[in-house]
Structure 1
């Protein structure tokens, strides 16, 4: 019996999703693309799961599309590297529809489609072994899962152009300096750090976790003036339901937490 192409481990309100094609550097075969999409659809439907961690088995996070499977068939390459007419589900869109935070635990190389998968996450923590590369131009195709737009917004247009127009690799340390990833840790620390981050997220007021993520994402897709109006609209509607005594009680907890984190 063959190994599943994706593994899901649930612990409390956290699901760890592992791409499981280590022999192929977790390349995005049709089965794996479908499995990623369906997995995140299922997690969104699971009321108990509020945070997800996405990582890869073996030495790679994801080496991009499985070019061997494509077999050089140009008709199979299109938006995101996959033509929508062949019935494939879009894993990046499905990740984006998960209402809770998705923490990318980038354990190794994230190349082209794998790079797009990484930046579909909300927070990126990578091991010292991680490297990033946008090789679309070297393969001879254009991205369709958002990389050409998200990357410039994350690290600036000049750096994004350098990466995408050369196809050069970016080290974990340089990715941190450029603001692409939140932090770099050792390989051994990667999942424990991500799980601790997930626990921190779960400790906030429950309804604020998906609501705040949505507010940030919606505003990020708008111009600044419209985004400010969006924030005002969201906050006016949401904050009416918060009682002053609730805020006072929570403030004490925040003060205690601050003392613990600075000690």
Structure 2
């Protein structure tokens, strides 16, 4: 139900339940957490790409058939443990996670997409928050994160209507980084991941943490956080190391 392919320090993780629209069953949620935790600790991996099998769905969210047969199943919608809450499993990963959104990302699937660090969408991708239509409220972060990304007016439009948002509009609203043809989706995500993987993994983790932690505060607090962490980090950087990397940057600039 979960495929993992590691090549050149990039891990491609695929939710593999296409017949069920890659719905997040209890078993898949547990496996995703276990896999991301393992990849986060794996020195052979610097960047992770997360996608879904097929072209229909990234993931349709919680497995409603499974929930219907389990009287306690709805507790998963408010779970805080990463083994039960896949959005937290993604957020807990210190390394960059690129979401390659191949199809619909609905409700809980939308929340998992929002947990990623970068989103590249196929033209087949669509996003929808159907919590209100199902009669439950989100517990994996959607009500808070979506409004911070696209503004409260647009977030309310989506969440209070349950309407779908197409990939091009999502790009225009700043929800996804860019939109590509379906056949180009995984190659584009892997190419970006490969670019990131040329950077030292400690720097990837440090810089991602600075951005995420600062974003959760006010601007002034974020600036103070940056100053404190930057001072601590840069104190350990030698002029020789900067010079060696500057040559690499110049060489890369000539080829791009």
Ranges of 4+ aligned residues in structure 1 off by more than 6 Å: none
- Over residues 198-228 of structure 1, what are the superposed CA-to-partner deviations in whole Å (9 max), with x where a residue is unaligned? 1110112442111100111110111111111
Aligned pairs (5 A) from 1:29-178: 29-58=25-54, 59-71=56-68, 75-78=72-75, 81=77, 83=79, 89-178=84-173
Q: List gaps (5 residues or longer) in structure 2.
A: none
TM-score, scaled relative to structure 2:
0.94
Q: In 2 relative to 1, CA 259–94 (structure 1 residues): closer, same or farther, beyond 3 Å? A: same
Range that drifts further, 104-113 or 64-73: 64-73
CA-CA distance at 1:196 after TM superposition: 0.6
TM-score, scaled relative to structure 1:
0.92
Q: List gaps (5 residues or longer) in structure 1.
A: none
1:208 to 203, 208, 218: 203
Match of 1:242 in 2: 237
> Hey, what's the Cα distance between the residues in 1 that align with 2:246 and 2:79?
51
> Hey, what's the Cα distance between the residues in 2 that align with 1:88 and 1:138?
26
Q: What is the DSSP-based 3-state SS (H/G/I as helix, E as strand, rest coil) of the residue aligned with 2:95?
A: coil
2:253 to 241, 250, 258: 258
> Hey, what's the Cα distance between the residues in 1 that align with 2:94 and 2:248?
26
Q: What is the DSSP-based 3-state SS (H/G/I as helix, E as strand, rest coil) of the residue aligned with 2:57?
A: coil
Q: What is the DSSP-based 3-state SS (H/G/I as helix, E as strand, rest coil) of the residue aligned with 1:61?
A: strand
